[in-house]
Amino acid sequence: MNKRKETLTALLFASPWFVGFTVFLLYPIIASIYLSFCDYSVLRPAVFIGLQNYSDLINDSIFKQALSNTVIYTAAALPLGLVVSLGLAMLLNTKVKGLAFYRTLFYMPSLVPLVALAILMQFIFNGQYGVLNSLLREFLPFVHGKSWPPNWLGDPRFSKLVLIFISAWGAGNAMVIYLAGLQDVPVQLYEAAQLDGAGWCSTTRNVTIPMISPVILFNLVMGIIGTLQVFTLPYVISNQGSPMRSIYFYTMYLFDNAFVYHKMGYACAMGWILFIIILLLTLLSFKLSEKHVHYGS
Amino acid sequence: MLLRKLYTPLTIVGLLATFAYSEYVVKPHYHDHKIHIVYWEKWTGGEGDAIKQTVNYFNHSQNKIHVDLLTISDIQDKTLLSVAGGDPPDVAGLYGADVAQYADDRAVIDLDPYLRKYGIKKSQYIPVYWKMNNIRGKEYALPSTPASTALFYNRALFKAAGMDPDKPRDWHHGHYTIEEMDKDAARLTKFAPNGQLQIMGFLPAEPGWWEWGWGYFFGGKLWNGSNKITANDAGNIKAYQWIASFSKKYGANNVSAFHSGLGQFSSSQNGFMAGKVAMEIQGVWFYHYIAMYAPNMLANPKTGKQAEWGIAPFPYPADRPDRAGTTFADEDVLVIPRGAKHPNSAFKFIDFMESPKGMDMLCGLQWKMSPLIHNEPGFYRNNRNRTARFFAEQAESKNVINVPRTGIYPEYADALQNAYDAVSLLDQTPKQALDVVQRQIQRQLNEYIQHEKMRLAAEGKSHK
Question: Residues of chain B with pLDDT > 70: what percent?
Answer: 99
Rounded to the nearest angstrom, the minimum Cα separation between A77 and chain B is 25
B35-41 vs A38-39, strand pairing mode: unpaired
- Cβ(B144)–Cβ(B331) under 8 Å? yes
Question: Three-state SS string across A150-178, please?
Answer: CCHHHCCCCHHHHHHHHHHHHHHHHHHHH
Q: Checking phi first, is residue B69 left (phi over 0); if not, alpha (psi -120 to 50) or beta?
A: beta
Residue B225 half-sphere exposure, CB side, CA atoms within 13 Å? 8
Type of residue at B274:
A
- Cβ(B199)–Cβ(B280) under 8 Å? no
Q: Checking phi first, is residue B225 left (phi over 0); if not, alpha (psi -120 to 50) or beta?
A: left
| Domains recognised in chain B with CATH numbers | 35-147+329-401 (3.40.190.10), 149-328+407-448 (3.40.190.10)
Distance of CA B397 to the CA centre of its chain: 18
Nearest to B417 among A47, A127, A240 (CB): A240
Binary contact (A128, B261; C-beta < 8 A)? yes
Confidence of residue A179 (pLDDT cuts 50, 70, 90): very high
Confidence of residue B220 (pLDDT cuts 50, 70, 90): very high
Q: Which residues of B touch A145 (CB under 8 A)?
A: 195
pLDDT of residue B176: 95
Closest CA to B194 of A99, A143, A109, A286: A143
pLDDT of residue B464: 47
Q: Which residues of B touch A147 (CB under 8 A)?
A: 251-253
Question: Torsions phi, psi of B334, nearest 5?
Answer: -110, 130
Question: Residues of chain B with pLDDT > 90: what percent?
Answer: 86
Rounded to the nearest angstrom, the minimum Cα separation between A209 and chain B is 44
Binary contact (A42, B105; C-beta < 8 A)? yes
Type of residue at B259:
H
Nearest to A244 among B208, B257, B422 (CB): B422
Average of pLDDT values for A170-177? 92
Distance of CA B20 to the CA centre of its chain: 43
CB burial of residue A210 (10 Å; 0-12, 13-18, 19+): middle
How many of the other CB atoms lie within 10 Å of CB of B267?
A: 13
DSSP A107-157: HGGGGS-HHHHHHHHHHHH-TTT-HHHHHHHHH-GGG-BTTBS--GGG-TT
Rounded to the nearest angstrom, the minimum Cα separation between B322 and chain A is 33
Nearest to A242 among B251, B417, B447 (CB): B417
3-state secondary structure at position B51: helix
pLDDT digits (tens, 9 = 90+) for A87-128: 999 999 988 888 889 999 999 999 999 999 999 999 999 998
Average of pLDDT values for B360-370? 96
Confidence of residue B390 (pLDDT cuts 50, 70, 90): very high
Residue B463 has pLDDT above 60, yes or no: no
Residue A272 has pLDDT above 80, yes or no: yes
CATH class of A60-260+267-289: mainly alpha
Rounded to 10 degrees, the C-alpha dihedral B103/B109/B114/B120 comes to -30
By C-alpha distance, the chain B residue nearest A43 is B84
Closest CA to B93 of B153, B50, B157: B50
The C-alpha atoms of residue B315 and residue A60 are separated, in whole angstroms, by 38
Nearest to B253 among A151, A244, A261 (CB): A151
By C-alpha distance, the chain A residue nearest B100 is A261
Binary contact (B257, A261; C-beta < 8 A)? no
pLDDT digits (tens, 9 = 90+) for B286-304: 999 999 999 999 999 889 9
Confidence of residue A212 (pLDDT cuts 50, 70, 90): very high
Residue B147 β-bridge partners: B330
Closest CA to A123 of A134, A113, A114: A134
pLDDT digits (tens, 9 = 90+) for B170-204: 998 889 999 999 999 999 999 998 889 999 999 99
By C-alpha distance, the chain B residue nearest A248 is B418
Tell me which of B108, B421, B423 to substitute to probe the interface with A (most A C-beta atoms closer than 10 Å): B421
Residue A40 has pLDDT above 70, yes or no: yes
Prediction ipTM score:
0.88
3-state secondary structure at position B317: coil
Tell me which of B12, B83, B199, B256 to substitute to probe the interface with A (most A C-beta atoms closer than 10 Å): B256
Binary contact (B80, A262; C-beta < 8 A)? yes
pLDDT digits (tens, 9 = 90+) for B89-141: 999 999 999 999 999 999 999 999 999 999 999 999 999 999 999 999 999 99
pLDDT digits (tens, 9 = 90+) for B241-279: 999 999 999 999 999 999 999 999 999 999 999 999 999
